[in-house]
Amino acid sequence: MERDNLFSRLLKDVAIRPYSKGNAEVEAKDDSPTGKPIIYINNDTYAGKAKEKMVKAEALHLLKHKEPKLHRELYEAANRDPIYKKWAQDSYRIVTGQIPDPETGESVPEDKREKRDFEKWHKESRFDQVIGGYIMAGDPDIPTMRFWNRDNMRIGPELRGKFEKVRKEFDSYSFPKLGQPPKLER
């Protein structure tokens, strides 16, 4: 199997370390104590194939750092997509407490409301979440993705096509050594 696909490039020179503060986290550039990307994975929550999936899912956060041209292409397609833009703006109105969540009828509690402006929130958080949501939609091994449905995502055909290409690379990549993820540092 070819090893120079998107995920082999994203995971090149990335440390994988244990994590106990949540499910997973990524540090890159200024956030990282080493200056190099680190993916933290909770070993108590993820093992085997689920851990491999989570490492790859967290690697998507490195797109903007390691594959800036692809990230820019996806981001620009999203910003040209009126269907996606309306969805992103509706989501922002929910997370800032402007409107209740239509799924629950509840508003986000004030202490948990988004404080960043739309552009910063979208660029730093939401867009990565949507990419991961498309790729990992419905995956029972990843708790935050169980209820995503890529067929029902509010995105137009151009953006869907670009996301689908990334998803196919995601699905085709397997870790070296008979599917084992990189060894976690202790």
Q: What is the pLDDT of residues 92-131, one digit of tens each?
A: 999 999 999 988 899 999 999 999 999 999 998 899 999 9
| pTM of this structure | 0.83
Upper half-sphere CA count for residue 163 (Cβ side, 13 Å): 26
Residue type, 38: I
Identify the segments of the chain with pLDDT beneath 50. 1-2, 178-180, 186
Q: pLDDT at position 30, please? A: 83
Q: pLDDT at position 178, please? A: 39
Report the chain's mean pLDDT, rounded to a whole number.
88
Please count the residues of the chain. 186
Tell me the C-alpha distance between 108 and 128, whole Å.
21
